Structure 1
């Protein structure tokens, strides 16, 4: 008989940030076990439930009994199992291991040879015999970094488990998991439901919990309810919800019966930078701040309660009271910090260790400042402003507000710099020098901010790499990959060259502090990261071709990639790419890297004379196109010499016996190679 299968683990409050993943993983593990046991078909329909005090899965259309199975166990080959008219030890051992005689074995073709086999019918087992072990195996696969014991039990789980439901249709499936015996009832909401919820049918699980237990069991459904409630409440106030990454999921994992409520705080707190208030509400209290149509914080907020009350005033006032204390702390930190200027805090940076091999934070600021002075002229930025911004960039790390909320570093520096009377560009740069903070984050829109952001990330990358802390696998504690991508994006935006900047960063460190190969190693690392970044938009071979050309000015990359993409679609592209590969191989074999003078008098064959004339004629046209960054034209003109290249390789023996003729032809090919690869190494293009 096929029927829905329900499994529920009733627990104490589960870790909110892991709840959804735990629910999905448990369901996937159970389904995988049922599939292996052949208790469900190839098309699987199941529902996942994850609430603060329970993980559950409902799998539709599960068999109560396995089908009988025809089993074939393969043994040794016939040749190896029967020799000189007698069974070998291998065949005897195979029969003995299956508790049968040799006469009971059959011979089958396994697709390669004839082998001995034991064929039998294995009787199917009932679900009740298999389910406990299926669930145990699913539990073992859960992503639980740290387990715990409870009571006198020897079992472990992410939180204590107090109830187990295993039902198939209307029947309770006998079994024991985590020391608990299966039952057909559970408990609902901790405060809104008191009676046991007894299930008559497994399929009624979610509806009964909703109606009798005041529990919305589905994580997705609870999240949708909360989001709808937040949006409705915000629209009533003509405001928008300030969502934070992961906050909605976390709140969804904290409540079983979500009720959205409106609350407020004293308007005087709006004098504190809104970033501080928003972070306090979101991070400490799990509230949802509200913004007006101009993006400014208003003194109203939304909270999600786990209780439903006829008059929720006490819930609202209690939350307002807690938030008032939090906001008072933020107000105090802000006022205290403003009593000292950022500049007055600079000497204390010497007391903060950056890294024991790289010195203190004051020394790091000196390096960033020196590097900013080098970068500023490259971007046409004011050197004095760039140096001032770099000097003050880390001073807010010593403030009380950033000590309480490290996420506000840079942001608070901007506010304090403005309060101190610093130049507005300097203040903005202090905030933006941390940008981009993550993949896809916005780049600094302030030129001084760009200068200091580059200096900060370059100093980090060169310094940390130079003392041997190179990223390996998924280990990157200093986020060097993130710094590299941020640098690359800024270089591409501002048409800057990578190698000189890496060397300039290395020059800010004392001699001997960094490994000798630091610059070369970082450059190779960054070019590899750049290739990965570009492959998100362009074909892999197109990226390889452009990167193979060792482009220095990263601002040209997009135009080169677009040009190569178009060139690749031309009918002549494949032939020219193949010819380029052949040229590469010949030059590599001859070890010819410098261009000797070509002697036209040694070009005897009409095909090589024609190719020489065509290549010479191309040179000024390609150089003019490169000067204008018209990479499309520089590649397109190559199609005009396709016939001459084909004729050359058909009619001319490059590796002639006469050394002078051979090297003259190789010099011609080197000239051709440089023209063909002026934009990209087209030999790397795939057909």
Structure 2
């Protein structure tokens, strides 16, 4: 029996654009998965997903009309339960065979056909049967129902269908959008399946306005994409439609010249792809007077409200032209262009009005109003929150000053922290919450504040997402750290911890931001001190004791951050478990040193020896690292002590200079004397003074070897 390709299409009303790509992939994926499970498709079957605003479809290659029959062996029961002493079937066995559909016209023959085989300590009875393979008619019906049931539908609609029977009436159907057509073709043959009150056929609908014919007749499964494009004026493939839009956007910008480029926004491109079936990019423009408004405001309103693509010049500055992706291609597009220009104009006028009105009041004059804005019912107002952020920022600035970092930004950090949330009370941020911080920067500059303070007001939200840039200056870093630490301490202190799939206060993002700033900005700040000053900023009794919870949370995020950076779990554990690892900025050079050490031929033996030494010292409990040369008896321990006197000071000097890789490489020379020591010396000697002296020698060696990292973590 030969295979043929299968096409299934569900024609619906306009699907939710932000969910379309996921819906299309899920529909095709589950459909293919179910057909493979039934034996109607193979692992070699190629699955192609299609998704447009009004259809979900899947093309699956090499689909069988009927699956192969399968020989199945089922365990029934232990022999002692199924057969009596005379070897005859018990009632329990006969009942089981009857349930399986076995032929019991001759019970003796039926029992004789059973197989006996060991099953653990006992012997069991097994029944062999032949299961008839599924047909495509029944298999596709089941697979289609399963695919619809598993669609990641954001919100289900309920609608009515007229019942297909002699008696008039209506039945309720639940789906993402009302469905109006179903296609199921195996080659050129219609597969008679039903779903959502629809019967499968070979016709569908094309573009709402520009289809060449109606209905669109599909000759076979393989002609779907071509027929939809030619007869239906629809690019059915989401990926192909997205690529076509991207091409047209670049071509339209190139025709304008001057190095203009459409703004890069893959999320917007996905959403627009989900809104059109036959894309046609048009160039529009607005009045240049609106360019006096911060371009972030204009870009956001064009993207979020109108789904337009703003055009930037070669320097990244907004121009007064933008691109529209239309779903129609009229001969004269002037009406479409004019309509879009008329629609965007009031949006831009609103943005200009908000900007002009907001600048009539200074940011500082708005700070008092934050006392009336609730932050959280257990954490009081935004005004009180700003006070806590200011205190934490001052303390961080003091720590940096004590560590030898210039404190020129201290006053600026306090000023930026005070004004950091003031733009929440502006009209612009009220209309576009995404612009908080950004508008604060513009208004700070308008008020005559320094560039450093203005940048810090915007940057204290950074990093806003994975891969986002860190604050530009140290003032912004201080305020950003203070803001994130206040959030972590406050939310953990009142019990608002993130769960496996929910993190409404973005605490994971805040934690990663703290980690990135400490590590990537090379800040000489001790993690424990930061958590202490964060909790100290809250009034006594407001929070529960969550110091350890915050510490564990940040430490786990730190591990993930380092592993995402390409380091192995063993390398990360080795670096993080070094004694007195308190300054996280120290971690990258330590990790680099661990990686280079692990490549040395001496590394495996030294790591294993280090692990062995650690186990010995654990059993010995408290050990004095002091060594008496008079008590060194064996040649191997004398040689090890002599090597350590020569090598360890040099390694320590390199460590103190921050050259961790060189320090570990120097210590690698101890491999031979360490191996000889364990081969020729009994550490736990019967004489107490010898035992303590040898333990002290190992303690001294252990301390020297683990300054950079816990090398035992590298042991296999």
Match of 2:356 in 1: 335
Deviations 1:515-552 (A, max 9, x none): 33x33332222122111111122122111100111522
Asked whether the equivalents of residues 625 and 698 of structure 2 are also in contact (C-alpha less than 8 Å), the reply is no
Asked whether the equivalents of residues 618 and 675 of structure 1 are also in contact (C-alpha less than 8 Å), the reply is no
Match of 1:511 in 2: 540
Match of 2:639 in 1: 610
Distance apart, 1:53 and its partner CA: 0.7
Distance apart, 1:63 and its partner CA: 1.7
SS in 2 for 1:220: helix
Q: Relative to structure 1, is the Cα distance of residues 63 and 108 closer, same or farther in structure 2, using a 3 angstrom cutoff?
A: farther
Match of 1:45 in 2: 46
1:655-674 paired onto structure 2 within 5 Å: 655-674=684-703
Asked whether the equivalents of residues 392 and 533 of structure 2 are also in contact (C-alpha less than 8 Å), the reply is yes
SS in 1 for 2:531: helix
Deviations 1:567-612 (A, max 9, x none): 11111111111111111111111222x6364333333333333333
1:255-404 paired onto structure 2 within 5 Å: 255-377=276-398, 378=400, 379-380=405-406, 381-404=408-431
1:574 to 601, 604, 612: 604
After the TM superposition, which of the residue ranges 582-591 and 194-203 deviates more from structure 2? 194-203
CA distance in 2, matches of 1:495, 1:150: 60
Find out whether 1:496 has 2:524 as its counterpart.
yes
After the TM superposition, which of the residue ranges 629-638 and 75-84 deviates more from structure 2? 75-84
Match of 1:634 in 2: 663
SS in 1 for 2:414: helix
Distance apart, 1:114 and its partner CA: 6.2
SS in 1 for 2:324: strand
SS in 2 for 1:298: strand
Asked whether the equivalents of residues 153 and 176 of structure 2 are also in contact (C-alpha less than 8 Å), the reply is yes
Find out whether 1:529 has 2:550 as its counterpart.
no
SS in 1 for 2:76: strand
Match of 1:196 in 2: 215
Find out whether 1:230 has 2:260 as its counterpart.
no
Q: Relative to structure 1, is the Cα distance of residues 89 and 609 closer, same or farther in structure 2, using a 3 angstrom cutoff?
A: farther
Distance apart, 1:111 and its partner CA: 8.8
Q: Relative to structure 1, is the Cα distance of residues 636 and 287 closer, same or farther in structure 2, using a 3 angstrom cutoff?
A: same
SS in 2 for 1:58: strand
Distance apart, 1:315 and its partner CA: 0.7
Find out whether 1:66 has 2:95 as its counterpart.
no
Asked whether the equivalents of residues 107 and 114 of structure 1 are also in contact (C-alpha less than 8 Å), the reply is no
Match of 2:472 in 1: 445
Match of 2:151 in 1: 142
2:272 to 251, 265, 269: 251
Asked whether the equivalents of residues 231 and 240 of structure 1 are also in contact (C-alpha less than 8 Å), the reply is yes
Q: Relative to structure 1, is the Cα distance of residues 120 and 371 closer, same or farther in structure 2, using a 3 angstrom cutoff?
A: closer
Match of 1:93 in 2: 95
2:594 to 560, 564, 567: 564
Find out whether 1:543 has 2:543 as its counterpart.
no
Asked whether the equivalents of residues 244 and 282 of structure 1 are also in contact (C-alpha less than 8 Å), the reply is no
CA distance in 1, matches of 2:695, 2:715: 25
Normalising to structure 2: TM-score of the pair?
A: 0.92
Find out whether 1:120 has 2:129 as its counterpart.
yes
SS in 2 for 1:642: helix
Asked whether the equivalents of residues 78 and 107 of structure 1 are also in contact (C-alpha less than 8 Å), the reply is no
Find out whether 1:434 has 2:461 as its counterpart.
yes
SS in 1 for 2:171: coil
Deviations 1:321-363 (A, max 9, x none): 1100100010010001001000000000101111222221111
Deviations 1:147-203 (A, max 9, x none): 111124322111111111112222221121111112221111112236211222222
CA distance in 2, matches of 1:642, 1:324: 76
Asked whether the equivalents of residues 10 and 161 of structure 1 are also in contact (C-alpha less than 8 Å), the reply is yes
CA distance in 1, matches of 2:417, 2:303: 31
Asked whether the equivalents of residues 210 and 217 of structure 1 are also in contact (C-alpha less than 8 Å), the reply is yes
Q: Relative to structure 1, is the Cα distance of residues 110 and 125 closer, same or farther in structure 2, using a 3 angstrom cutoff?
A: farther
After the TM superposition, which of the residue ranges 558-567 and 282-291 deviates more from structure 2? 558-567
- For structure 1, the 5+ residue unaligned runs are none
1:178 to 185, 193, 196: 196
Distance apart, 1:8 and its partner CA: 1.0
Q: Relative to structure 1, is the Cα distance of residues 38 and 596 closer, same or farther in structure 2, using a 3 angstrom cutoff?
A: closer
Distance apart, 1:445 and its partner CA: 1.8
Match of 2:444 in 1: 417
Asked whether the equivalents of residues 40 and 139 of structure 2 are also in contact (C-alpha less than 8 Å), the reply is no
Q: Relative to structure 1, is the Cα distance of residues 451 and 133 closer, same or farther in structure 2, using a 3 angstrom cutoff?
A: same
CA distance in 1, matches of 2:129, 2:444: 83
Find out whether 1:3 has 2:21 as its counterpart.
no
CA distance in 2, matches of 1:99, 1:57: 37
- For structure 2, the 5+ residue unaligned runs are 161-169
SS in 2 for 1:14: coil
Asked whether the equivalents of residues 183 and 200 of structure 2 are also in contact (C-alpha less than 8 Å), the reply is yes
Distance apart, 1:459 and its partner CA: 1.3
Asked whether the equivalents of residues 485 and 529 of structure 1 are also in contact (C-alpha less than 8 Å), the reply is yes
Deviations 1:455-475 (A, max 9, x none): 111111122122222222122
Asked whether the equivalents of residues 409 and 474 of structure 2 are also in contact (C-alpha less than 8 Å), the reply is no
Asked whether the equivalents of residues 216 and 257 of structure 1 are also in contact (C-alpha less than 8 Å), the reply is yes
Deviations 1:82-126 (A, max 9, x none): 352323455333322223235233316589786433333344443
Q: Relative to structure 1, is the Cα distance of residues 231 and 111 closer, same or farther in structure 2, using a 3 angstrom cutoff?
A: farther
Match of 2:173 in 1: 155
SS in 2 for 1:546: helix
Q: Relative to structure 1, is the Cα distance of residues 197 and 506 closer, same or farther in structure 2, using a 3 angstrom cutoff?
A: same
CA distance in 2, matches of 1:128, 1:278: 52
After the TM superposition, which of the residue ranges 45-54 and 249-258 deviates more from structure 2? 45-54
CA distance in 1, matches of 2:383, 2:582: 32
1:448-459 paired onto structure 2 within 5 Å: 448-459=475-486
Q: Relative to structure 1, is the Cα distance of residues 396 and 110 closer, same or farther in structure 2, using a 3 angstrom cutoff?
A: farther
Q: CA RMSD in A?
A: 1.9
SS in 2 for 1:535: helix
Distance apart, 1:26 and its partner CA: 0.6
CA distance in 2, matches of 1:287, 1:26: 29
CA distance in 2, matches of 1:160, 1:680: 62
Asked whether the equivalents of residues 25 and 49 of structure 2 are also in contact (C-alpha less than 8 Å), the reply is yes
